[in-house]
Amino acid sequence: MTSKKRALLKVVILGDSFVGKTSLMNQYVNKKFSNQYKTTIGADFLTKEVMVGDQVVVLQIWDTAGQERYQSLNAAFYRGADSCVLVFDLTVQKTFKSLDNWKEEFLFQASPRNPENFPFVVLGNKIDLENREVTTKRAQAWCQSKNNIPYFETSAKDTTNLEQAFQTIASNTLKQASQGTDVELYNDFPEPIVFGENDESKSSAKRCSC
């Protein structure tokens, strides 16, 4: 009996430095959290298999550098993305104000065929901290003004809303991709090529099974 083919969807995570992009990805995929911060150079990715209805979906989640000096490198990783996750830190207002720039930069560099309906998701991270500077109402209003982008308040530390957020990402991305011709189906996946800061980041990605 032939196993059902899996859909491969590329998801790019964008946002300023220190908002928790790497921590969110590692917690979601590997169930690990660390308070040690290490700057992402270029981009790195992990994969996670989820079910959307009766369809097996493999999310290829790309974590990109938030520092300005690396953004020229990131542009190459935007292309071919099926979804974009915009992340800000609920305790740092300027990271929320950067969302417009990240969204515009992504659309410019990725050039999706249907930018008006491209599946974005916004994550307000670090909900576990008390000194928040961005209210839920303000974040929701911004998302509604951008064609009703789904919004979740998350914590990479205690996993608040993490599963729900990425399940929505998978579902919305598959729905949009299925309306075009870009969904890639595979029985077997090639060994991932990982761009990271050191061998540890590379090996962690390779250990993550599809």
Give 178's pLDDT tier (boundaries 50, 70, 90). confident
Domain spans, the chain: 10-185
Per-residue pLDDT tens digits for 27-50: 999 998 766 545 544 457 889 999
Would the pLDDT of 140 be above 90?
Answer: yes
Q: How far is CA 128 from the centre of its chain?
A: 20
CB contact set of 158 (below 8 Å; sequence gap of 6+): 128
Task: Fill in the DSSP letter of residue 188.
Answer: S
Would the pLDDT of 186 be above 80?
Answer: no
Higher pLDDT, 20 or 187: 20
CB contact set of 170 (below 8 Å; sequence gap of 6+): 9, 50, 52, 57, 59
Q: Model-level pTM?
A: 0.80
Per-residue pLDDT tens digits for 51-94: 999 999 999 999 876 444 445 555 678 888 999 999 999 999 99
Task: Supply the CATH classification number for the domain 10-185.
Answer: 3.40.50.300
Helices (H), 116-197: 136-145, 162-178
Asked if 195 and 13 touch (Cβ cutoff 8 Å), the reply is no
Give the span between the Cα atoms of 41 and 196, in whole angstroms.
6
